[in-house]
């Protein structure tokens, strides 16, 4: 039997599996989850009375929101989503948030990627939808 007849279908299948994994490889979902639950959700609950769980949006909705980088909360909280994952934001809340203090040395782009990876991998239509409880 020709080895290529076996190898080519296996390589094709590997490509379908590797593409979604590669898209998420730039961020650490565990760190993104910790940050989102301890910083983003804390603020949302304090300001609005409820958090926004990853499973409340689809992958496409999260990607669109994060690609737009627009935090449309209204009032004093309008701005970029990335502002809330920045070192400056972490420095501003570190006195009352130990997680923010723990992540002070993480680069802004990396922290945004961590949160993005967790949100997308935990979206409503992902393989592992997650709430914030």
- How many Å apart are CA 70 and CA 64, to the nearest integer? 10
Give 64-105 pLDDT, tens digit per residue. Answer: 999 999 887 666 667 899 999 999 999 999 999 999 999 999
The runs of H, that is alpha helices, within 25-80 are 29-35, 41-48, 59-68
The runs of H, that is alpha helices, within 69-130 are 87-93, 98-102, 108-121
Give 19-74 pLDDT, tens digit per residue. Answer: 444 444 589 999 999 999 999 988 888 888 888 899 999 999 999 999 999 887 66
> Of 54, 36, 31, whose CA–CA distance to 110 is shortest?
31
């Amino acid at each position: 039997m020709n080895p290529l007849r076996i190898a080519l279908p296996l390589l094709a299948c590997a490509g379908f599996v590797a593409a979604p994994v590669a898209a998420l490889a730039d961020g650490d979902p565990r760190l993104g989850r910790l940050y989102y639950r301890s910083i983003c959700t804390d603020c949302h609950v304090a300001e609005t009375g409820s958090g926004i769980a990853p499973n409340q949006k689809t992958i496409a909705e999260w990607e669109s929101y994060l690609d737009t980088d627009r935090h449309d909360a209204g009032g004093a909280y309008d701005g970029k989503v990335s502002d809330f994952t920045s070192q400056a934001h972490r420095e501003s809340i570190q006195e009352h948030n130990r997680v923010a203090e723990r992540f002070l040395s993480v680069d802004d782009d990396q922290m945004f990627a961590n949160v993005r990876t967790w949100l997308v991998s935990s979206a409503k239509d992902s393989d592992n939808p997650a709430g914030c409880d």
